[in-house]
Structure 1
Amino acid sequence: MNMSRNPFYLQDILSADQFIKSELLLVVRTADRMKKLVETKGGEETLKGKIMTALFYEPSSRTFGSFIAAMQRLGGGVIPIQGVQYSSVSKGETLADTVRTFGSYSDIVVLRHPEVGSAKIAAEFCDKPVINAGDGVGEHPTQALLDFYTITRHFQDISGLTVTMVGDLLNGRTIHSLSKLLSLYRPLTLNLVSPEILRLPQELLRILKDRKMRVHETENLGDVIGDSDVLYVTRVQKERFTDLTSYERLKHQYIVTPTLLRKAKKTAIILHPLPRVGEITMDVDLDPRALYIREQMVNGMYIRMALLSLILTKRA
């Protein structure tokens, strides 16, 4: 690849579907550089004079905070908007008008919104780049990128791995985006572990199979944990349930414990997009295979620094 060419310059990041392998590798290399930068200097002034609007219609702590930290470590400014009930949105302002307003103030808009497809709509109306930070139960491409980055830092060749995804696969937007990225790396095997009513959306399952992924669906985590190189655990999403009785019945169907992990490979890694609500017990945090606290979380900042740098500067 010609490293002077930057395919991300002034581009939107809306879906994991938009990435090809060479672009993923560019993001990974740039994130490596950002990691080294933070560890040695704390940051730089690459984006001095640039402003990012973080426009979050849904609650967030890690994604919201890591985007702000990423922009500030690169010398940029931030307009943080979280809690739109206090804004013009509560008066009936449309998403289109809101993103056009903040696009006029800033150089890039990072959007989290409860409706699937909202980021695409925002990008159509905003004349500045838009990053999808989660659109309802749709996608979460930057989380998928940081998950992918974490996996690649531990396995030299990911194409032969077995990745096991556990929990709410129906509503888990991180699952939807990460599975699409992983589908670029055949013959990777994907185990999908969930209750029947929380299975991966059938349209996405069809897409993955059309891409020749090896996909196996099961309700029994114990059957597949021993073969797993990556265990990707997600919470059952209470906010997506209208029937709380069903939520209470399903929320702890899968709990990862030290006892369960005795069946797992010594070389396996355990990931979780967080927050967790009991599906991984606290004593698992001490297991060296558990990367969700010690690596995965901070990798989010490095990936978001990489994306902001690539989108807002011409050279890769």
Structure 2
Amino acid sequence: MELYHVLGAKQFNRKMLDEIFDITRSMEDVVEAGGSDRYANKVLTTLFFEPSTRTRLSFESAMSRLGGKVIGTENAAQFSSTIKGETLEDTIRVVSAYSDVIVIRHTDIGAAERAAAVATVPIINAGDGAGEHPSQALLDLYTIQKEIGRLDDLNIVMIGDLANGRTVHSLCYLLTNYHNIHISFTAPENVQIPSTVKKYLDEKGITYVEEYDLAKVAANADVLYQTRIQKERFMSLDEYEKARGQYIIDRDILGFMKQDSIILHPLPRAGEIAVEVDQDPRAAYFRQAQNGLYIRMALIQKCFNR
């Protein structure tokens, strides 16, 4: 399977996902062995117009562990020619000449597609506003397979800011490649899952419910996928306060959960998972973040081996 740009979760089918996960497992061995020099002559550029810790650093670490070099900026909105009025397209045209692959995070939905339209090297979407975050969804899916042992026959609860949660949107799209998937959406009234996502799930035959009672759906869940209420996405503080703090995974919620279920979170968290949960073996979110390194190593290899 060839892979050029990584723009959205809908571009992946089950066969492609299987292949990427096979490569990802091999990347765990590469890291264990101390890394590789296979891409010593390659350069990865990170263009991040929004803040990031895990995504940017894991892509940079992934490239370094594969022997390549990294250039870029963590605050491209201020420390690039964008502040002088340069268009995204012109930035990408120029940076393509310096790079072998570009990883971009942007405030605008569709920015990665705009970049890909003019780039002469692969573009990897590291999050476009409230749109998608395909590499995060890939590592989420890989984590579920690794922790639970399957990707079919799953009951998944998605919690929190589902309107602005690009990780949720991308994960929903990837899950349509699997059988007997049921999703429960548990969110405050002002940040419900978008109708566009539900329409796609309908088209793909995925069953779902919108349920306000977290304890009720947690009892039968294989995966609790918690997300942060994203203050930066709200038009007013009042709207943010309406959503904040409604759904918290704590010791009480653990009591409702199955012993073989897991808790995921794309991070960062802001109080929606109590620290007391961290010691529970079902708390998989830090292992999930570690898997981000391996997935991103696999994506870089796929982009180069086309």
Instruction: State the TM bucket, normalised to the shorter chain.
Output: over 0.9
2:36 to 41, 44, 51: 44
Residue correspondence of structure 1 range 94-173 to structure 2 within 5 A? 94-173=87-166
Q: Could you give the per-residue CA deviations for residues 227-249 of structure 1, whole angstroms, max 9, x where no partner exists?
A: 00000000110000111122123
CA distance in 1, matches of 2:39, 2:193: 39
1:213 to 177, 185, 206: 206
TM-score (norm. length: structure 2): 0.98
Query: Is the CA contact (8 Å cut-off) linking 2:190 and 2:243 kept in structure 1?
Result: no
CA distance in 2, matches of 1:233, 1:273: 8
Partner of 1:310: 302
AA in 1 matched with 2:170 = S
CA distance in 1, matches of 2:136, 2:100: 22
Q: Could you give the per-residue CA deviations for residues 100-119 of structure 1, whole angstroms, max 9, x where no partner exists?
A: 11111010000000000000
Partner of 1:197: 190
Q: What is the SS of the residue equivalent to 2:277?
A: helix
2:83 to 72, 80, 90: 90
Residue correspondence of structure 1 range 226-305 to structure 2 within 5 A? 226-293=219-286, 295-305=287-297
| CA drift at 1:141 | 0.0
CA distance in 2, matches of 1:42, 1:306: 16
Q: Could you give the per-residue CA deviations for residues 151-173 of structure 1, whole angstroms, max 9, x where no partner exists?
A: 01123332111011000000000
Q: What is the CA RMSD across the aligned residues, in angstroms? A: 0.9
TM-score (norm. length: structure 1): 0.95
AA in 2 matched with 1:158 = L
Partner of 1:178: 171
Fraction of identical pairs, as percent: 45
Partner of 1:7: 2
Matched, 1:71 2:71: no
AA in 2 matched with 1:108 = V
Partner of 1:61: 53
Q: Could you give the per-residue CA deviations for residues 66-121 of structure 1, whole angstroms, max 9, x where no partner exists?
A: 00000000000011212121221100000001111111101000000000000000
**Structure 1 ranges of 4+ moved more than 6 A:** none
Q: What is the SS of the residue equivalent to 2:97?
A: helix
| CA drift at 1:250 | 1.5
Partner of 2:180: 187
Partner of 1:33: 26
| CA drift at 1:64 | 0.5
CA distance in 2, matches of 1:249, 1:204: 23
